[in-house]
Amino acid sequence: MNSSLLKLKALKISKKAVGIILRIIFLSGFCFVILYPVILMISRGFMSRVDLMDNEVILIFKNFTLENFKVASMLLDYGTSFKNTIIITLGCTLFSLIASLLAGYAFGRYNFKLKPVLFGILLFTIIVPPQLIMMPLYMKFKSFDILGIIELINGSPANLLNSFAPFFILSITGMGIKSGIFIYLFRQFFAGMPREIEEAAMVDGAGSFRIFATLMVPNAKTIIVMVILFSIVWQYNDVVYSQLFLTTQKVLSMQYVNLERFTQEVLEFLEMANGDIMVGMYVPLVKSAGALIILAPIIIMFLVAQKFFVESIERSGIVG
């Protein structure tokens, strides 16, 4: 009897151990698939061109160098591009936060005519990709006018292309990058707030704006943090609108898209000047270094705000 019980316990332990081992193998493989491109990018960023000729070098470089970052910074025009990117990102984040906060509060706390229709349009903006409305947006901002007022004053509509204005206008009107998702998140949060809190504030003599500013907004700080973080990341990495509205203004996302072309042009010149036929192998190293210096601010921001980010995700999931 005791021997059979021991065999059953041993069988259960062995099954549990096999399950744990299989999970470890699966998770390790899954993590490797995700992390391999990142590890390769970091390794190539600090790798010299000599290591590319060494068959023994795969992930760990032998010859450390910062030359790739110097070349990438020069080709990206990092100072100007980073400044423009930060202006657009922070401006759009602020305007998008204000617009989505107000719209989400209206959808969550008030009943008004055509509310279901407008909310349906909101959901439609989440589903429809921005590429479908690129041409109308381009034409609108190429000949921008408000009820004919600008044409009446200047004699012709304003051309807002190659400026930051289109980004800010779209954000403040709730049509910025992923603004529909932000409005929906705020709507879900405010709809879940107890009505008794609002009624108690009204009994104390608080008006609608005071209730919103002093009661609702402080309670929504976790959602606000999440919206800010997502907005910064999405706007920082935007290529669609940057490519549509900007021609000579430089931003990091567009500069990185053109980085391979820039690098190839420089290397072709060096190849002709120095007669080095292997200089073209330098392109992947410069691209990896460029990706690292572009991603560095976002990674630092995430590490600093990680605690708030996790709390925001958990809170939004509970309320929604």
pLDDT digits (tens, 9 = 90+) for 21-77: 888 998 888 888 888 888 888 888 888 877 777 777 777 778 888 888 888 888 888
Q: Is residue 268 predicted with pLDDT exceeding 50?
A: yes
The predicted pLDDT at position 312 comes to 62
Task: Say how far apart CA 231 and CA 97 lie, in whole Å.
Answer: 8
Maximum CA extent, the chain: 100
Cβ–Cβ under 8 Å, residues 242 and 170 = no
pLDDT at 251: 83
Higher pLDDT, 84 or 3: 84
**For residues 250-262, average pLDDT:** 75
Give the pLDDT of residue 306.
75
Which amino acid type is present at position 297?
P
Contact 241, 138 (CB under 8 A): no
For 219, the token pair is 């309670």
Q: Indicate the pLDDT class of residue 125, thresholds 50, 70 and 90.
A: confident
Percent of residues, the chain, with pLDDT higher than 90: 15
Residue 170: per-residue pLDDT: 93
Q: Is the predicted pLDDT of residue 184 greater than 80, yes or no? A: yes
Amino acid at 118: L
Interval 108-136 mean pLDDT: 87
How far apart are alpha carbons 313 and 226 in whole angstroms? 7
pTM confidence score: 0.80
pLDDT of residue 319: 43
Strands of 120-167 (E only): list them: none
In this model, does residue 273 exceed pLDDT 50?
A: no
Helix (H, G, I), strand (E, B) or coil at 47: strand
CA dihedral 85, 295, 138, 115 (to 10 degrees): -100
- Residues 6 or more apart whose CB falls under 8 angstroms from that of 215 comprise 197, 198, 201, 206
Q: Which residue has the higher pLDDT, 151 or 165?
A: 165
pLDDT band for position 88 (cuts 50, 70, 90)? very high
**209-235 residue pLDDT tens:** 888 888 888 888 888 988 998 999 999
* Structure-block tokens of residue 11: 């069988």
The residues near 241 (Cβ < 8 Å, ≥ 6 apart) are: 130, 166, 167, 170, 177
CA distance 204 to 224: 27
